[in-house]
Structure 1
């Protein structure tokens, strides 16, 4: 986790020891699946793969073995199987995540905003649901799982906004085709210099959406133990700053990779401590989720 996501690594320190170690095991599986699918090493630059379907089959095979409690020989998958059993996390969320990797293996592209959000669910929202159950949320508490999914959506929308240039270099684009058509940007032309001002409009739109889902997610933290709520609120702020920087930088958002620096992360850790429900927090669970995309 320290190599793959410094933001999540800092937030995970706020958990109690058992929850923290379980979160590390779940993260290790997610990171390994992502690395295998995209030819990466702890994230970073995608190397491009020519055997995407074979890699996908490997992920499905090893994940299936781990979920059945069988030894795979790979620590990332064996640890994942352990935490799934200990926390009774529904298997459907793991399969949903791998279905997201299948979309990439098919060189899928979103046509609409709904398509984009469905993709965000598969690659991040499903992880939010798994994390919620890991932290003690009842798998039948769908209202809280919807909030957990919202945080995953917020994180992935921030990723899409930040990584537009890197994704384009890897032959990918997660901007809805409807959005590009609305801005009169032909397919494959969104990173051209002439399109940068129009792209900045879409970057700000993504950042605004990410903020909406981030705020919705905060209203689910009352269902979590205090330390878990602290960690989630800190992670929401830390990662949310990525989207906010995209909005602030405008046309310069893709000149260099956006990161959240250490002092800014620490600031969110301190602010989140005062937002924990039951300790002066301000995120009532009864707040409605109006006009937000909802997981299947």
Structure 2
């Protein structure tokens, strides 16, 4: 399968093929829903998407690995080294950097998107709370929105990239807000709260109360109301982002629609458990993932077949 994907993408260099293989393995091991959605893309699109995931995961691992010997200064230095190597044009001895550098060149992805991404990664070294929505949005610009924008040249659009960009950015933001709601307990174990403090305070919630919920594995009624409000805000962002799927190239729509459906259903699971996020982690079951992906796979196949037919007709 991977050989066919690399052949379809026109990646012939042996070292680059090995680099892309490693990115694909990283995506398969660490991003189950993400990797499942990429199976709905055309084979030639998949290596580039895996490379972007590999790069983002590499930066995340620098921040989140539990290594007592690696202090904040050491993590900052490692992030700077990653940045320096990326903006120097990649590093052919580092598979992830070699693959993402090739992807950036092939698809002419603006490098300022990676600057924004790395800036948000650096914020995670020192920022543990966000006073308001504007502050959180500044963080999510680099940590989530740019991921959608990096993907656009690979996915393709029926109009201009600029027309589709607000929707792609919103979808990245919705995905991350979903993570923040699902992982609020896990983030507290890292001393982080990725929810606007002023919006929590409107429900009588502060860091001390959130910490109490974390310690006691219970959701206080005030916290439940605050999370429900955040839940509805995230729903609204998904609704806006869904309007942009029609702006993507037809062959890419089933993939993005599937990712949107499966990720937004994490919100359903959170609501189903009455926001008991301190006692359990909301997930979408394997059966449901396969069910959604199965229908999308057929739609993706038909979209690619239609594209092939149009190409043959044009050639004739």
TM-score (structure 2 length as normaliser): 0.78
Change (3 A) 1:72 1:205: farther
Give the equivalent residue in structure 2 for 1:243. 267
Q: Does 1:187 align with 2:187?
A: no
Rate the CA distance shift 1:118–1:84 in 2: closer, same or farther, 3 A.
Answer: same
2:228 corresponds to 1:204: yes
Aligned CA distance change for structure 1 residues 211 and 267 (closer, same or farther; 3 Å): farther
Q: Following TM superposition, by how much is the alpha carbon of 1:274 offset from its aligned partner in structure 2, in angstroms?
A: 9.0
Is contact 2:128–2:191 with CA below 8 Å preserved after alignment?
no
Give yes or no for contact 2:157–2:249 (8 Å, CA) kept in 1.
no
- Provide the rounded CA distance (Å) in 1 between the counterparts of 2:224 and 2:170: 24
Bigger CA drift: 110-119 or 78-87?
A: 110-119
Could you tell me whether the CA contact under 8 Å between 2:152 and 2:161 is conserved in 1? no
Structure 1 segments, 4+ long, off by >6 Å, are: 273-276
Q: Is residue 4 from structure 1 mapped to residue 18 from structure 2 by the alignment?
A: no
- Structure 2 spans left out of the alignment, 5+ residues: 1-26, 304-316
Change (3 A) 1:83 1:139: farther
Shift of 1:210: 1.9
2:137 pairs with 1:111 = no
Question: Which runs of 5 or more residues in structure 1 are unaligned?
Answer: 40-45, 280-296
Deviation at 1:49, TM superposition (A): 7.5
Aligned residues of 1:25 and 1:83 also touching (Cα < 8 A): yes
Task: Determine which structure has the larger helix proportion and give its number.
Answer: 2
Equivalent of 1:267 in 252, 274, 291: 291
SS in 2 for 1:234: helix
Structure 1 residue 82 displacement after superposition: 0.9
TM normalised by structure 1 equals 0.83
Cα distance in structure 1, aligned partners of 2:135 and 2:68: 23
C-alpha distance 139-100 of structure 1, shift in aligned 2 (>3 A): farther
- Partner of 2:210, secondary structure, is coil
Q: Name the counterpart of 1:284.
A: none
Return the index of the structure with the highest Cα Rg.
2
CA distance in 2: counterparts of 1:198 and 1:272, whole angstroms? 39
Distance 2:219 2:266 in 1: 22
Query: Shift of residue 129 of structure 1?
Result: 0.6
Q: Hey, what does 1:156 align to over in structure 2?
A: 176
Provide the residue aligned with 1:229 in structure 2.
253
For this pair of structures, how many residues does the alignment match? 272
Cα RMSD after superposing both structures: 2.6
Decide whether the 8 Å contact of 2:38 with 2:255 is kept in 1. Answer: yes
